[in-house]
Amino acid sequence: MPVQTLTPITAAEQMSIVRCASCHATLDDRTARATCPNCGGLLAVEHTLALPRGDTLRARFDERLGIESYRGSAAERSGVWRFRELVLPGARDEEIVSHPEGNTPLVTREAVAGFAGVRDLWLKHEGHNPSASFKDRGMTAALTQAKRIGAVAVACASTGNTSASLAAYAAQAGIPAFVLVPEGRVSTGKLAQTLAYGAHMIRLLGDFDDCLELAREASERLGVYLVNSLNPFRVEGQKTIVLELLQQLGWEAPDWIALPAGNLGNTAAFGKALREAHGLGMIDRVPRLLAVQAAGAAPFAAGFSDDFATRRRVRAETAATAIRIGDPASWDRAVDAIRFSNGYVAAVSDAEIFAAKRVIDSCGVGCEPASAASVAGVRVLAERGIIGAGERVVAVLTGHLLKDPDAALAARVAGGLGSEESLTRDEALAHLGRVLTGS
- Helix (H/G/I), strand (E/B), else coil: 272: helix
**Based on CB atoms, which residue is closest to ligand F0G, 52 or 105?**
105
Q: Does 370 bind ligand F0G (CB under 6 A)?
A: yes
What number of other Cβ atoms are within 10 A of residue 73's Cβ?
14
Residues 6 or more apart from 320 whose CB is under 8 A from it?
260, 294, 297, 350, 353, 369, 370, 372, 373
**Based on CB atoms, which residue is closest to ligand F0G, 179 or 277?**
179
Q: In the stretch 280-319, what mask flags binding to ligand F0G with x, by CB under 6 A?
A: ----------------------------------------
**Based on CB atoms, which residue is closest to ligand F0G, 14 or 374?**
374
Which alpha helices (DSSP H) does 280-404 contain, by range? 299-305, 331-340, 350-362, 369-383
Q: Does 258 bind ligand F0G (CB under 6 A)?
A: no
313 phi and psi angles, rounded to 5 deg: -135, 145
**Residue 52 burial (C-beta neighbours within 10 Å; 0-12, 13-18, 19+):** middle
Q: In the stretch 196-235, what mask flags binding to ligand F0G with x, by CB under 6 A?
A: ---------------------------------x------
**Based on CB atoms, which residue is closest to ligand F0G, 132 or 280?**
132
Which alpha helices (DSSP H) does 94-183 contain, by range? 110-116, 135-148, 161-173
Q: Does 166 bind ligand F0G (CB under 6 A)?
A: no
**Based on CB atoms, which residue is closest to ligand F0G, 51 or 376?**
376
What number of other Cβ atoms are within 10 A of residue 295's Cβ?
17
Which listed residue (368, 378, 394, 408) binds ligand F0G by CB under 6 A? 368
Strands 154-157 and 120-125 come out as unpaired
Q: How far is the CB of 239 from ligand F0G (least distance, A)?
A: 12
Closest by CA position to 227, among listed 61, 99, 35: 35
6 phi and psi angles, rounded to 5 deg: -110, 155
Q: Does 35 bind ligand F0G (CB under 6 A)?
A: no
Which listed residue (89, 90, 160, 377) binds ligand F0G by CB under 6 A? 160
Which listed residue (399, 401, 404, 408) binds ligand F0G by CB under 6 A? 399
**Based on CB atoms, which residue is closest to ligand F0G, 41 or 160?**
160
CA distance 142 to 154: 9
Of the candidate spans 33-41, 117-125, 157-165, 346-354, the one that interacts with ligand F0G by CB under 6 A turns out to be 157-165
Total of residues contacting ligand F0G (CB under 6 A): 23
Of the candidate spans 43-51, 59-67, 273-281, 368-376, the one that interacts with ligand F0G by CB under 6 A turns out to be 368-376
**Based on CB atoms, which residue is closest to ligand F0G, 58 or 137?**
137
Q: What is the DSSP string of 216-248?
A: HHHHHHHTPEE-STTSHHHHHHHHHHHHHHHHH
Which listed residue (90, 189, 262, 287) binds ligand F0G by CB under 6 A? 262
Size of the chain in residues: 439
What CA dihedral angle connects 109, 110, 113 and 118, to 10 degrees? 130
Of the candidate spans 18-26, 198-206, 242-250, 261-269, the one that interacts with ligand F0G by CB under 6 A turns out to be 261-269
Which listed residue (322, 345, 360, 393) binds ligand F0G by CB under 6 A? 322
Instruction: Determine contact, residues 144/233, Cβ cutoff 8 Å.
Output: yes
Instruction: Determine contact, residues 229/138, Cβ cutoff 8 Å.
Output: yes
- Helix (H/G/I), strand (E/B), else coil: 383: helix
Of the candidate spans 16-24, 146-154, 160-168, 279-287, the one that interacts with ligand F0G by CB under 6 A turns out to be 160-168
Residues that bind ligand F0G (CB under 6 A): 133, 135, 158-162, 229, 260-267, 322-323, 368, 370-371, 398-399
